[in-house]
């Protein structure tokens, strides 16, 4: 299997854009993708050629959620992150992801005919949600039928919820990383210092240590972008409404560049400026 298949946009290449979260950047690396799968199946012996990424951007890659699909041997593993917002709607998202992934899997295998008499063979699905938010107790499993349709529903999907932080496997390490990150934000606010302290503390605890050593600058950039989105909403949202959309956006871009040390492009990423408008705003910023 190919390591980084992206059925929607760029076959053969995993998504590694600055707007991606640490979650996607980490687990889209086949080295850590293997460890993710082995967190669920310690008995599996895998190489990078055993896994294939299924990136269905138009289905699940929404702003507030991170979702990952991995085809490994005879299993289809769907893993969603709930960073801080808990919602039972993850069950619906998983259902849609699963249906779309199977649809594309069948399309890719031309010998499969769902209208034929021969039974097709599909990889076994496994669904997980990694919750890295508050310490509030969460259920170990979620059930689509129980939560949405009642126990007599013929439609079912079960999702395992993972909440334990620690160093036992890479999923526990990632959850611990998120907890440290939230602690540092509470102490230092949305600042580069909070990011640096998060990385320092995690490396000292041996939490994602190899990854953070290899991609420290990329992690800082990703986290600064996420911080900038929070800051843009909290600090500059009122200004945008008061001054009008264009004037407010120009001011917000400029302020993010000044206060968060971002490039104009990164500031526009944080503010979600549409691509077709960026040249106009870039020229406006230059003239300030």
The tokens for 234 are 């909290």
Higher pLDDT, 225 or 149: 149
Residue 6 has pLDDT above 80, yes or no: no
**Token pair 């160093």 in the structure block, residue:** 167
Q: Which of 15-19, 42-46, 78-82, 157-161 has the lowest mean pLDDT?
A: 15-19
Cβ neighbours of residue 128 closer than 8 Å, sequence gap 6 or more = 40, 77, 78, 79, 80, 159, 160, 161, 162
What's the token pair of residue 252?
Answer: 């917000």
Tell me which of 98-107, 109-118, 144-153, 224-233 is least confident.
224-233
| Structure confidence at residue 8 (pLDDT) | 37
Question: 165-181, pLDDT tens digit by residue?
Answer: 999 999 999 999 999 99
């Amino acid at each position: 299997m190919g390591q980084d298949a992206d059925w929607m946009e760029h076959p053969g290449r995993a998504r590694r854009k600055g707007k991606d979260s640490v979650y996607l950047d980490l687990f889209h690396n086949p080295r850590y993708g293997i460890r993710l799968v082995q967190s669920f199946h310690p008995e599996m012996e895998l190489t990078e050629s055993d896994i294939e990424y299924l990136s269905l951007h138009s289905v699940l890659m929404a702003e507030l959620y991170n979702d990952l699909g991995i085809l490994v041997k005879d299993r289809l593993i769907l893993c969603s992150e709930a960073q801080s917002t808990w919602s039972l709607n993850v069950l619906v998202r998983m259902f849609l992801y699963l249906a779309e992934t199977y649809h594309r899997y069948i399309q890719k295998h031309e010998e499969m005919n769902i209208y034929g008499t021969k039974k097709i063979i599909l990889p076994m699905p496994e669904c997980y949600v990694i919750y890295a938010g508050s310490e509030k107790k969460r259920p170990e499993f979620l059930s689509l039928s129980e939560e949405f349709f009642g126990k007599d529903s013929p439609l079912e999907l079960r999702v395992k919820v993972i909440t334990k932080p620690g160093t036992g496997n890479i999923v526990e390490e990632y959850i611990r990383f998120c907890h440290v990150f939230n602690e540092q934000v509470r102490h230092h606010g949305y600042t580069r210092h909070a990011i640096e302290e998060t990385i320092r503390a995690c490396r000292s605890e041996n939490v994602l240590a190899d990854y953070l050593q290899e991609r420290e600058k990329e992690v800082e950039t990703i986290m600064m972008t996420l911080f900038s989105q929070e800051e843009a909403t909290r600090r500059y949202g009122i200004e945008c409404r008061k001054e009008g959309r264009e004037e407010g956006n120009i001011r917000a871009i400029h302020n993010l560049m000044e206060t968060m040390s971002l490039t104009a492009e990164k500031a526009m990423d944080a503010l979600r400026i549409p691509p077709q408008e960026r040249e106009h705003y870039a020229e406006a910023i230059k003239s300030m």
